[in-house]
Every structure is written in C-alpha cells, then in structure tokens.
Structure 1
Amino acid sequence: MNNLYSPILLFVYNRPEHARMAIESLQQNSLAKESELFIYSDAAKNEETQPAVDEVRKLIHSVTGFERITIIEREENWGLAKSIIDGVTTRVKEYGRVIVLEDDLVVAPHFLKFMNDALEVYKNEPKVGHIQACEFFEDSTLPDTFLIKWTGSWGWATWERAWNLFNPDGKALLKELEERKLTRTFDFNNKYGFTRMLRRQIEGKNNSWAIRWNASLFLKDVLSLNVGKSLVQNVGFDGSGTNCGGGGLYASLLYQKELPVIKIEPIEENIKARKSVENYYRRTNSFSAKAVRRIKRTLKGDFGA
C-alpha cells in the first residue's frame, strides 16, 4: 500500500443498496485508486437476513477501483459494535491510522483527501484524537474546521495513539463521569442524553461502541476535529439500520469542493461551535420537537423510532 494514505475500513451487513451507494461514492474519490480498502461483512443473524447478506457479499466481491481490496467475511454474527472495535483495533495497530465508514454513509468526492490531510496535519497532536466529516447542525457560521469535545461516528478517522484511549467498559466510564460531575457537560448542558445512552449500553439496551468512544476521549480531554461543511451524508435513516429510526433529522448536503486542512492554533475547544451544537440539540431534542416529528412521520406512514 502507498503509505501516504490511510486504509479505509467499510462495515457492511444486509443492505445491498446502501452498500452499493457507499462504495460508489468512495470510488468517485480522487484518492480511491491509491487507497487500500478493507470491507468487513457480518454474517446473517437468522435465516430471514441470509438472502440480503448473500447479496451484499456478492456485491463486495465485484468491487474494483482501489489499490488493494481485502474482504473479511465473519462466519458468525458479530454485531456492529464488536465488528468495528475488532476491525479498528486490528488495522490501527498495523497502519497507525484508519478511516472508518459504515454501509449507510455516502461521501463527497474529496472526502478521502480531507481525511488523509487531517490525519497528517494532526498526527503528532495528542490533544486531537478523532476526525469527524459529517456536519448536520445547520449553522452556516461554523468555520470549515473546528475542535470540539464530542465524537461523531459517521465518517471518521483516528490514530493508534488515540484508539489506545478507548475504554470498552461502559460502567467504568459512567462512574468516572458521575464522580467528576461531568454528565451535564457531556450531555451539552442536558440538551442531549449521551449519559442516558451510555447507561442503556451498560444495561444491554443498546450495543453502541460510539458512546463509549465518545466518553473515552471526553474523559481524557481529547478533542475531535469537526467540519463546518459536510463531506458525509447518512442515507440510512429509513429504519433499515442499527440505531437508525425514521425522519430527516440529521440530513446534510455534501460539500463538493476540496476542504483545506489548516492546523488550528491554539489547540482548544471552539466554544462557539459547542454552543451551536447545544442549540441544535435544544431545537431538535425537546419534548415538543420530538412530538411534532412523530406526528409528521405517523401521517406519512413512517413508524420508525
């Protein structure tokens, strides 16, 4: 592999049309032919999902357009969290850095360039541990890139030094958040229930790896580099995926131009950006906002969460 470019990890399961869209958008990237692609295909959970899994596996074996393609087909159903944790841990040890995508994410033409540029610019900056390329906060005043104590999981990248901070033990993470009285800050002044999400993971009501990654970096005061113009679009909010309900709550438009990466100095959280995220969650996560969305979806015949 060309060592200048990070490997891409793509996790797929039983959504052939979503996987096709994700792969085609990657193929259209300027650095695709110089990048190594690892495709992780989870096994069917039951007989009902087997045909769709088979269709996805047929699709991924036809993929071309990358420097090298490696396909990992699980023989048992691992679930998304276990598969991502294993895949990231394995490849980041091997390559030192990774770019991670799930099968319901469509990327912009310069997504790979931005991610590789950011991985290079911040590679020796221990206060930055995560790169997130999806923006859905509907705030045109945000800068092209900014630093924040929050990790998004839709089109992201990291380094081995940062992934070493990942703590899969949700109980330990929650205990530290509570002991340090950080739950309110973690939840953007109680505007979004990230702490509740972590509690539900502990109780086995969800199996989110992302909430544990978010908490792990938050507790270490490690920042994420986020974008003010989205290079990723989540097309999975049709009830077809893990933890994805209906509605267009997180819609984003793909930015079609190159997004330059200029190192931010000093390395500290952008308070204006944090307030913007808080305001977004205030608008969209209130009881009244949820009620209106549910009514609209019900009228359309969409009974997703």
Structure 2
Amino acid sequence: MNSPVLLITFNRPAYVRQMIAALRAAKVRNLYVFKDGPRPNNTADYNASKEIENIIGSIDWECSVKTNYMQNNLGCGYGPYSAISWAFQYENELIILEDDCVPTIPFFDFCTGMLEKYRNNIKIKHITGRCPAPEHYIFRKYDYIYTQYAPTIGWATWKRTWENFDMQMREVEPFIKNGGFTNQFSSKKEAKFFNRRFDETRRDPNAVFHIWDYQYGLHSRMNGALGIVPAANLIDYIGVEGTHPTAVNSEIVQLKTSTKFVAKNHPSEIAIIPEYDYAYFCRFIYGNSSLLHRIISHIKKIIKPCRLIRR
C-alpha cells in the first residue's frame, strides 16, 4: 500500500501495538509517526513514551518510517495540528490515523482510490473511513456519498485542504457578521447551531489546547467543501482510555466494521443528500451538545422523530 500514512500518538502503547498490526497487515510502505511529548513531571507519560518509541523502532516489514517525537507536550489541539502540518511538508496527500482507531484493509484501499479520483477536485475536502449510519437507505444505492459531516476518525486528505487552515479561527468573526452559515445548510437549525458553536469556540482562549477538529471543520465548511463517507464502516474506534475517553457501551465504540467493502457504485453527481446530512446533525451533533440541547432534542424526537431514515 503506497499511500503515505501519518500515525499520531501520545501515551497509549497498547493502542499503538494494535495500530502497528493493522499497518503491517495493509503493508504500508510510507509511514510518518508523530508522538506528542510527556506532560511535565508525569512519570507514566515518560515511560509510555519510551515504550512507544521501542514499538515504532521494531517495525519489521518493508516500510520507510519518518518520526517526529516531541520533547514537550503540545496537547490535544496543537498536537494533531502540528503532526499533520509536519507530514504535509513532505507529502501532498495523507491517510491520517490517531492511535485510538484501528483501520481495516478496505479502509486503505478506499482512501487510496478516493485520494486519486478526487485529487484535483477542490470541492472535496477529505475522505473518512467512519460510516456512523450504514443502515441509511442512501447506501443501498451508492457505495459512498458526499456530505458536510465526514468524521475525522480515520481519514485522508490533501495538502491543498490543509493549507490556510487557522487554528486561531480569526476568520470566524467577519464570517459570522456577514451571515455565517445562513445559506450553507439545508436547515436553519444547522446554520444557527454552527454560527453559535463556532463563535463560542473562537471566544474560548483554551480551545486551541484541547481541540483542533472544530477549527478544521469551520475552515472546510466556510469554503463550501464536502467530505466523502463510505457505505460501510471501515474504522474500529477503541478510544475508551485517554484525555477524551468514550464509554465502552457507546454507539461510536460498538459500531461494527466491514472487512470486505469495495466501492463500485459511484454517486451520479457531487452533491449532499439533505436527508442524510440533517439526520446526521440531529443524531450525532445536536442531540449530543449541551444538556439543555439534549433535553430539547429528546422532546422534539418524541413530537417529531429526527433520525437517520430507513426506506
């Protein structure tokens, strides 16, 4: 598998071992490894860091490995941002994996194929291997779709997408003042939600230290870009330990993966499926925001169900 892969890690050697096994199975030939540094005076971080270095050093298949090991801790915001920016100094496209997700073989094939197919199409921002709702009726027609909601949990993108991305979100204020996402989404609820959410994030001086994907999502959506989601889930999410742990019994952890997926049926045009996007928003974003929003969402679901549609 010749597409370059970036692995982002920190202090979870057990997760890294699972990832290395997946990379070996896929015969990845070009690997970048970015490891964030240990937190100050944290012996466990220091020991885990050394163990991860040993794991990476033991890679035993034909693979070019370039490493960037931080001495200081950058955190969950600037860490991944710095990792991706670093790897794009050497490559024009990347498959990007954090150590809390385990890819299947079809994930690599799908990403490689989509990177090549849409390499020169600036409308497409990235490809995800995460399909949170493979039961949606649209996937009976197409093997992948275009959407504004393509999770960055096992994904691939191009240098052209990452360029001009601003972690400080300085582009938000004038964007919001000019109407923001008013005409961006298929529903007013989505536009209002993201206008508020991104403005709140911009005003949080600590945001850059613990998140990066919000800023990236803003940058992509502001430029009208779309992501690609496969009809089957190709990423096994295992992030039940760490700074942002997920419950073992949560939907994101329990979602099954496909090991036989092949993309054959292509969409007829590059356009979102409004029903899919709105349903995704209701189920995975709006319903999982603040407590107040979760209560409101629950009430609205009782009155008028808002779910991914089966037909």
TM beyond 0.5: yes
Aligned 8 A contact 1:122 1:263 in 2? no
Count of residues in Structure 1 that have an aligned counterpart in Structure 2: 283
Give the 3 Å change call, closer, same or farther, for CA 92–265 of structure 1 in structure 2: farther
1:90-127 deviation per Cα after TM superposition (whole angstroms, max 9, x unaligned): 33242211111101111112211111101001111111
1:17 matched to 2:14: yes
**Secondary structure of 2:272 counterpart:** coil
With 16-25 and 252-261 compared, the bigger mean Cα shift is at 252-261
Q: For residue 287 of structure 1, what is the amino acid of its counterpart?
A: R
Q: How does 1:141-220 map to 2 (within 5 A)?
A: 141-143=137-139, 144-173=143-172, 175-177=174-176, 179-182=178-181, 189-190=189-190, 195-196=196-197, 199-200=200-201, 202-206=203-207, 207-220=210-223
Offset, 1:242: 3.4
SS of the equivalent of 1:58 reads helix
Structure 2 length-normalised TM: 0.80
Q: Is the 8 A contact 1:36 1:67 kept in 2?
A: yes
1:123 to 1:138, Cα distance in 2 relative to 1, 3 A? closer
2:294 is aligned with 1:287: yes
| Deviations, residues 113-157 of structure 1 (Å, cap 9, x unaligned) | 111101001111111111111122363424221101234210111
CA distance 1:77–1:284, change in 2 (3 Å): closer
- With 106-115 and 179-188 compared, the bigger mean Cα shift is at 179-188
2:25 matches 1:28: yes
Equivalent residues of 1:110, 1:256 under 8 A apart: yes
- Assess, with a 3 A threshold, how the Cα gap between structure 1 residues 250 and 193 changes in structure 2: closer, same or farther: farther
Contact 1:11 1:102 in 2 (8 A): yes
- For residue 197 of structure 1, report the CA deviation from its aligned partner: 6.4
Amino acid aligned to 2:63: E
Distance (whole Å) between structure 2 residues aligned to residue 138 and residue 191 of structure 1 = 25
One-letter amino acid matched to 1:99: I
| Equivalent of residue 75 in structure 1, options 71, 77, 80 | 71
Partner of 1:301: none
Q: What's the % identity of the aligned pairs?
A: 19
Residue 70 (structure 1) shift: 1.7
Q: Pick the aligned partner of 1:249 from 242, 248, 251.
A: 251
How far does residue 183 in structure 1 lie from its aligned partner after superposition? 7.0
Residues 84-163 of structure 1 aligned to structure 2 (within 5 Å): 84-137=80-133, 139-143=135-139, 144-163=143-162
| TM-score between the two structures when normalised by the length of structure 1 | 0.81
**Structure 2 contact 36–69 (Cα < 8 Å) conserved:** yes
Query: Compared with structure 1, are the counterparts of its residues 190 and 145 closer, same or farther at alpha carbon in structure 2 (3 Å cutoff)?
Result: same
Unaligned runs of 5+ in 2: 299-311
Query: Displacement of 1:37 after TM fit?
Result: 0.7
Q: Distance in 1 between matches of 2:51 and 2:59?
A: 13
Equivalent position amino acid for 1:160 in 2: K
- Aligned-partner Cα distance in 2 for 1:176–1:71: 37
For 1:150 and 1:14, the matched residues in 2 are separated by 29
1:105–1:234: 8 Å Cα contact kept in structure 2? yes
2 CA distance for matches of 1:196 and 1:205?
Answer: 15
State the 1:185 CA deviation. 6.2
Shift of 1:51: 1.7
Partner Cα separation in structure 2 for residue 15 and residue 212 of structure 1: 25
Looking at structure 2, the residues matched to 184 and 288 of structure 1 have their Cα atoms a distance apart, in angstroms, of: 27
- Take 1:263 and 1:218, find their aligned partners in 2: how far apart are those partners? 23
Structure 1 residues 181 and 68: alpha-carbon distance in aligned structure 2, compared to 1, 3 A threshold: closer
| Kept in 2: contact 1:37–1:66 (CA 8 A) | no
Q: Distance in 1 between matches of 2:202 and 2:14?
A: 29
The range that moved more, 244-253 or 212-221, is 244-253
Asked whether the equivalents of residues 232 and 254 of structure 1 are also in contact (C-alpha less than 8 Å), the reply is: yes
Q: Which residue of the partner structure matches residue 268 of structure 1? A: 271
Corresponding residue for residue 303 of structure 1 = none
Aligned to 1:43: 37
Q: In 2, distance between residues paired with 1:183 and 1:241?
A: 36
- The verdict on how the C-alpha distance between 1:233 and 1:169 changes in structure 2, with shifts beyond 3 A counting, is same
Q: Deviation at 1:5?
A: 3.0
CA distance 1:216–1:269, change in 2 (3 Å): same
Change (3 A) 1:217 1:55: same
1:52-67 matched pairs, under 5 angstroms:
52-67=48-63
Q: How many angstroms does 1:190 deviate by? A: 4.8
Residue 211 to residue 14, structure 1, CA distance change in 2 (3 Å): same
